[in-house]
Structure 1
């Protein structure tokens, strides 16, 4: 389930690392997306 969700996230959600976003200057909604993507990716790898 998480592998499918990770693929959907890769297509839909923006990649902040490719945009060169500094995590210390990220807004709350950007941090929420980063945290969500991290959680799903971590679960997909297990």
Structure 2
């Protein structure tokens, strides 16, 4: 289930790595998206 969710995240949610987002300047929403993507990715891999 998490592998499918990870693919959906990849297509739908923004990629902050390519945008070179500075985490110290990220908004709460951007931090929430980063945390969600991290959670799903770690569950999909493990």
TM value normalised by structure 1: 0.97
Q: CA deviation digits over 1:2-46, x for unaligned, max 9?
A: 000000000000000100100111000000000000000000001
Q: Who is 2:34 aligned against?
A: 34
The answer to whether the aligner puts 1:3 opposite 2:19 as a matched pair is no
- Aligned CA RMSD, in angstroms, stands at 0.4
Which consecutive residues of structure 1, in runs of 5 or more, have no partner in the other structure?
none
Q: Which has the higher helix share?
A: 1
Q: Which runs of 4+ in 1 moved over 2 A?
A: none
Which consecutive residues of structure 2, in runs of 5 or more, have no partner in the other structure?
none
